[in-house]
A = this chain, B = another copy of it.
Amino acid sequence: MERVAGHSDTEGRLRRLGDAVRAARKSQGLSQEALADAAGIDRSHMGKIERGERNVTLLNVIKIAAALDGSAADLLGKAGL
């Protein structure tokens, strides 16, 4: 899992995913901690994903999407990715 260094295009894409995760999470009334636990992802890592600070892996995107009752394709579609 790479730390993201400062390329704006890269940051923008990851931020779009993070924003989509946050919006879907809030629409389901879930706390960030509850989503992290449901997805089986470390809580501090989930915070970094929501802030667009981590280049998340496909398997974690799938886990997050499943915890939000959706598919990874749907989640990326909502993020415009």
Contacts and interface: CB of A to CB of B under 8 A. Distances in A.
Interface string A2-42: 10000000100110010000000000000000000000000
15 contacts: A1-B2, A1-B57, A10-B59, A55-B57, A55-B59, A56-B57, A58-B58, A71-B76, A71-B81, A72-B81, A73-B73, A73-B76, A73-B77, A73-B79, A73-B81
Contacts of A55: 57-59
Q: Rank and list the top 4 A-B pairs by shortest CB-CB distance, nearest first.
A: A73-B77, A73-B76, A55-B57, A72-B81
Interface secondary structure of A, over-half rule: helix
A67 interface: no
Given A73-B76, A76-B72, A58 B17 contact: yes
